[in-house]
Amino acid sequence: MNDPFKQADAPRKVLVADDDAEGRLDAWLTSVLAGEFSRSRIKALIEQGAVLHRGAICTEPKKKVAPGDRVEIVLPEPEDPVPKGEDIPLEVLYEDADVIVIAKQAGLVVHPGAGNWTGTLVNALIHHCGDSLSGIGGVRRPGIVHRLDKDTSGVLVAAKNDIAHRHLAAQFADHGRTGPLERAYQAVVWGRPKQLRGTIDAPLGRAGDRTKRAVKRADSDDAREAVTHYEVIERFHEKPDATAMAALVECQLETGRTHQIRVHMAHIGSPLVGDPDYSAGFRTKVNLLPEPAKTVVKAFHRQALHAFLLAFEHPRTGEVMEFKAPIPDDLQELIDALRV
């Protein structure tokens, strides 16, 4: 871990806990530096080794603070909260005065955030649409009503005014239960689900890593309903006992949780090929594949997931619109190699 205190020119602030100081270090620093940094930002700085507590680097946000404690913090460079337009190519499937529908490429982050302040879809949309994007999502998420993971490709719609944003957001919140919203994905998974068609109804919540998700008991504090419908479309290298090395699966979301398809497919024993977070136990299976599939799978460095279909009601006309994004070249190459 880099030591921020070895940077001679790094701006610092020295604080001394007063007589009323108590509780966790991250909470105390957040209160003392109110308005400067969020608690999550303070916590990250502590974990990065940017805080001295009682003369020693402290990486434990829950460390207790006592009256008279001396705390020194290396202050990060200020980050511009307002994203700027960037000339990033967009594959526009449809656009009018209310909405823009694009086929997002894999590798493109949807909106700015920690570690990705530039080069996002939002930066591209600002450049393409100018000031017409809806502001409801805030300065960092103008026009954004739903998301796809960075390495998931496929159809995504953004709102170009506040009325469209509210209308679309309501449809996504309803998950298509009472309206026409429909989202369908294609995924290449290891093995083959035991049932060729089924529904995975398993609540999701945070895993140990704040960016990951896991199946949780329904009565867990952070459990949120998650329902995925799936159907096996094609099986690759199927054996006489009806097992397969891999399969092409179509998934439809009834809810829209973070990493939902990725976690749900792993939960039933068929994680996505290339998934860096949820298929670690299946990486050696690539050695059982014949060529050229073995070489192609080894070179496939993202989850094999593509949002190929999105349908929604147009916020102005009420027309039900359906859009499909063709399978990107890297995923098509993977499927073709597995067919051999």
Distance of CA 37 to the CA centre of its chain: 23
The total number of residues shown for the chain amounts to 340
Contact 146, 181 (CB under 8 A): no
- CB neighbours of 30 closer than 8 A, spacing ≥ 6? 37, 38, 39, 42
- CB neighbours of 68 closer than 8 A, spacing ≥ 6? 16, 17
Taking phi over 0 as left and psi of -120 to 50 as alpha, with beta for the rest, 288 belongs to alpha
CA distance 307 to 329: 14
Contact 52, 93 (CB under 8 A): no
Residue reference for tokens 């434990």: 60
Instruction: From 331, 327, 330, 332, select the one nearest 155 (Cα to Cα).
Output: 327
Q: Is 149 annotated as catalytic?
A: yes
Catalytic pick among 26, 69, 98, 149: 149
CA distance 275 to 140: 27
**Positions marked active-site:** 149
